[in-house]
Amino acid sequence: MVLRSLPFFFREVALNLKRNPVMTIASASTVLVLVIVLGVFSIVAVNLVKFSRVVSSQFHMTAFLSENMSLGDAMQIQKQISGLPHVARIRYVSSEEALKRVGEWLKEEINLEGLVKNPFPSSFDIYVDDPTAMDEVAIGLGKIQGIKDLNYARKEAARMVPFLRNIKYACIVLIALLLFTTVLIVSNTIKLTVFARRREIEIMQLVGAAHWFIRWPFILEGVLQGLFGSAVAVTLLYITYTNLLATLVNSVPWFPLVSNPLTLHQILAALVASGCIVGGAGSFIAVNRFLRV
Amino acid sequence: MLSVMAHPIAPENLLSPGESSALSERVRTPRSNPAGCLIEFRSVSVVYPNGVKALVDVSTEIEKGEFVFLVGPTGSGKSTFLRLIYGEARASVGDVIVEGKSVRKLRHHQIPFLRRRMGIIFQDFKLLPNKTIYENAAYALEVIGAPSREIARKVSHVLYVVGLEHKVRMFPHELSGGEQQRTSIARALINHPPILLADEPTGNLDPDTAWDIMQLLQQINQKGTTVLMATHNRIVVDSMKKRVLTLGSGAIVGDQLKGGYSGGS
Ligand SMILES: Nc1ncnc2c1ncn2[C@@H]1O[C@H](COP(=O)(O)OP(=O)(O)OP(=O)(O)O)[C@@H](O)[C@H]1O
Ligand SMILES: [Mg+2]
């Protein structure tokens, strides 16, 4: 039945967009504004999260091992380290891996392929449960035979770590709140546009239209309004962010902006999808309110 | 019309249904065979949410193929009577049976199917404001998923029949009251429904057009459609010599075959 009436539904939607452009524009521009707000915040959030991850990943201790240590000795040392208080996690970094890491880091500047001898010692990355306890851990590490050198961030900087970790959760909570508000405002706007047509809905019922038959054109219309609004918003966001990226990469190169196109596209696609869903669902709920016999 | 206005409380309104039956020419008694009856009211009372008692203990039967006028002063419950049949009003007490099914027991999703069995001409037209005359008439066919070829053919025909073929692209607010009424009539007739409910269908029409419409309703009735028409039009009722159900203050106060407007008196 739905399929058979599909041409009618599309005609209905097209005619309504033509005959009621004000309503469409009202809903679409509400979606536009809110998606921009949501989009700006999401982009800021992913950047903050990336920034905090990059920064907090620096806050571990690195214990360099004496040269030419056997794997067996290294394992012995690992056991001793894990026995220390406050040590949460240990990762063994072989000298080959260290070379590779640095090579990737510097791949544009220096070519390390030509090295005859690997200058990097093997090491342990040591993550502690409380960054402020690093000094205490350091004393313990100093007593272990075979650890040649120790490298870790200063106490003051380490205090940032819990804060940075919480940024992610703060962002998630804020985005959820923002999304909730968006859903409320958009569905309210759509409710108003449907309310303006409640008499039509009543008449449609009186001449024998089934509920789904009345509902579908409204849902399609809501989806379209969401699509219009969010598509324009996403286009604006995309243009702005890529321009910003191009400028900032040059002027503030140390800030690790999210430039991965996949992440960006995912965010923008999610915004368009939520625009459509909120539009359609808002219409659905609003129409149902007037579909009483 | 005028006499009704001059005497808002017609004499029959003062009588209880039992007393009025003595006055009527022939009171219809409930039939023993309910199979032949299309619409049946079983002791129906309607109380609106605001407390108004619109119908009080109404019982009657309408057979397949009948032409029935529903008369009575304004506010006597004619529109409510019709609304019960298409499920817009629900009986507070009693039940209405249409084509053997209790309207009261119908679920919400079954109501559209009930309404597709009938054409309804509304007292206030109930046209879709954002649709042209053509689209308004077509809507009754769209809801049943009719093919577009059939829709085009039937709409042109029915709009021609009610004399609106030159206004098809206009919107309801661009039409006169009578033209809107004729659109409502066209929409009600387009499905060739077995039941036609007409609430004051000639109220906004000049006498000539009114007669044309009455002619049309009579033709439809002769082809087998059961017609139930609420009206204040004394001349029409008196000259058509059809069954007349008279309502007064929500009760049936007269029921005559080949009756006249003044009902039981
Ligand atoms: N939706 C409603 N809510 C409350 N009361 C109503 C409603 N519709 C009608 N009434 C009341 O019910 C009574 C019967 O109304 P109804 O419309 O059935 O009368 P009617 O005979 O059709 O009158 P008219 O000849 O003026 O069309 C009236 O007193 C009216 O005020
Ligand atoms: Mg009425």
Q: Do A200 and B145 touch (CB under 8 A)?
A: no
Backbone dihedral angles phi then psi of residue B175, each to the nearest 5 degrees: -110, 160
Does the pLDDT value for residue B4 go beyond 50?
no
Confidence (pTM): 0.76
Q: 């324009």: which residue's tokens? A: A232
* B131 vs A contacts (CB less than 8 Å): 15
pLDDT digits (tens, 9 = 90+) for B170-223: 999 999 988 999 999 999 999 999 999 999 999 888 888 889 889 989 999 999
Sign of CA pseudo-dihedral A30, A36, A37, A39: positive
Residues B263 and B138 in one domain: no
- Domain membership of residue B242 as a residue range: 37-117+194-265
Helix%, strand%, coil% for chain B, nearest 5: 35, 25, 40
Neighbours of A208 (CB within 10 A): 24
Q: Is the dihedral of CA A128, A132, A137, A142 positive or negative?
A: positive
Q: Is residue B26 part of a domain?
A: no
Chain B residues touching A209 at Cβ < 8 A = 112, 139, 143
Higher pLDDT, B81 or A94: B81
Question: In this structure, which amino acid lies at residue A41?
Answer: F
CA-to-CA distance for A93 and A118, rounded, in angstroms? 14
Q: Is the CB of B83 under 6 A from ligand 1?
A: no
Residue B3 lies in a domain: no
Q: Quick one: pLDDT at residue A208? A: 93
Nearest C-alpha in B relative to A209: B143
- What tokens were used for B149? 């070829």
pLDDT tens sequence across B22-74: 334 344 444 444 456 899 999 999 999 999 999 999 999 999 999 999 999 99
Is the CB of B80 within 6 Å of ligand 1? Answer: yes
In short, whether B73's Cβ falls inside 6 Å of ligand 1 is: no
Round to whole Å and give the CA distance between B164 and A18: 25
* B89 and chain A in contact, CB less than 8 A: no
For the CA atoms of chain B, what is the radius of gyration? 18
Testing ligand 1's pocket by substitution, the residue of B1, B13, B53, B79 carrying the most ligand atoms inside 8 A of its CB is B79
Predicted pLDDT of residue B6: 34
Indicate whether B9 belongs to any domain: no
Q: In angstroms, rounded to a whole number, what is the distance separating the alpha carbons of residues A144 and A90? A: 15
In the listed set B150, B175, B192, which residue is the last one of a domain according to the structure?
Answer: B192
Is residue B251 within 8 Å of B17, Cβ to Cβ?
A: yes
Task: Show the domains of chain A with their CATH numbers.
Answer: 6-55+160-292 (no CATH), 60-152 (3.30.70.3040)
**DSSP one-letter string for B31-63:** PS-GGGEEEEEEEEEEE-TTS-EEEEEEEEEEE
Tell me, yes or no, whether B30 lies in a domain: no
pLDDT by position in tens, chain A (length 293): 678 888 899 999 999 888 889 888 999 999 999 999 999 998 888 888 887 777 766 677 888 888 877 888 888 888 888 888 888 888 888 888 888 877 776 665 666 666 667 778 888 888 877 767 778 888 888 888 888 888 877 666 666 767 777 888 888 999 999 989 988 998 899 888 888 899 999 999 999 999 999 999 999 999 999 999 999 999 999 999 888 888 887 777 666 677 777 788 899 999 999 999 999 999 999 999 888 74
Residues from chain B contacting residue A13 (CB–CB below 8 Å): none
Determine whether the interchain pair B120/A206 forms a contact, defined as Cβ–Cβ distance below 8 Å.
yes
User: In this structure, which amino acid lies at residue A215?
Assistant: R
Statement to judge: residues B75 and B59 lie in one domain: yes
Domain co-membership, B112 together with B131: no
Q: What is the pLDDT of residues B126-158, one digit of tens each?
A: 999 999 999 999 999 999 999 999 999 999 999
